[in-house]
Amino acid sequence: MDLTTEIAKELVPSSEPSVFKAGDTITVYYRIKEGDKERTQFFKGDVLQRKGSGATETFTIRKISNGIAVERIFPVNSPLIEKIEINKKGKVRRARIFYLRGLTGKKARIKELKK
């Protein structure tokens, strides 16, 4: 292995692995600093993709807010993320579900995975 991958392994916190994937509906609680104050805000939506590995792994979440689609990219190992809740497991056949961007209404629904 080269030096950069070894350093990246040391930087990644050894917490529990995130077990969500594309199609799942999750809620991400993250800290926001506003001046000298700090508060927790949440972002609830569908996971479009997980990308990267190790210290540089990210995931993209999409939600509809007042009829406008909002997408946000979070680093998996960010210290600003307090917790990630999995609300629903989605049944999708792709690892990246960007086709949701072109769908509206009932067509944009993701089927729930039966247990």
Domain residues of the chain, as ranges? Answer: 3-101
Residue 25 has pLDDT above 70, yes or no: yes
pLDDT of residue 16: 59
pLDDT of residue 50: 94
Beta bridge partners of 78: none
Percent of the chain with pLDDT over 70: 93
Beta bridge partners of 64: 69
Q: For residue 30, what are its two tokens?
A: 């993250």
Residue 96 has pLDDT above 70, yes or no: yes
Interior angle at CA 73, CA 70 and CA 76, nearest 5: 140
Amino acid at 30: Y
pLDDT of residue 40: 96
Could you please state the CATH topology (level 3) that the domain comprising 3-101 is classified under.
SH3 type barrels. (2.30.30)
With tokens 């077990």, the residue in question is 19
Q: Mean pLDDT, the chain, as a whole number?
A: 89
What's phi and psi for 8, nearest 5 deg?
Answer: -65, -35
Give pLDDT tens digits for 50-94: 999 888 899 999 999 998 999 999 999 889 999 999 999 999 999
Q: Are 55 and 12 in contact (CB under 8 A)?
A: yes
Span 95-101, mean pLDDT?
94
